[in-house]
């Protein structure tokens, strides 16, 4: 579990994965979707996720690998938890 947390626990990381799963695929789309993220931080997160085999870059587009897609249920569970216990 600590290995997974080390990968997805970085600031912005889960949000980048969420947006890629939702269909954002270009750097500029991700940057617009993630209000407040700097271009440098986004670039570093994408490079880290590429190195971990979670994201693949093809031309100017980014997409989740099978390994990245396997994180979708985790993100959905976190969304459900937040809706149930954190949002009034």
Residue 76 region by backbone torsions, left for phi larger than 0, else alpha for psi between -120 and 50, else beta: alpha
Summarize pLDDT for 17-66 with one digit per residue, the tens.
999 999 889 999 999 999 999 999 999 999 999 999 999 999 889 999 99
> pLDDT-derived band of residue 81, with 50, 70 and 90 as boundaries?
very high
What are the structural domains of the chain?
2-86 (1.10.10.10)
pTM for the full predicted model: 0.89
> pLDDT-derived band of residue 9, with 50, 70 and 90 as boundaries?
confident
Cα(23)–Cα(79) distance, rounded to whole angstroms? Answer: 17
């Amino acid at each position: 579990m600590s290995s997974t947390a080390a990968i997805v626990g970085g600031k912005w990381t889960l949000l980048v994965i969420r947006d890629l799963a939702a269909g954002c695929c270009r750097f500029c789309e991700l940057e617009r979707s993630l209000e407040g993220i700097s271009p440098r931080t986004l670039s570093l997160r994408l490079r880290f996720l590429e190195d971990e085999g979670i994201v693949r870059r093809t031309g100017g587009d980014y997409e989740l690998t099978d390994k990245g897609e396997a994180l979708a249920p985790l993100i959905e569970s976190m969304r459900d938890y937040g809706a149930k216990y954190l949002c009034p």
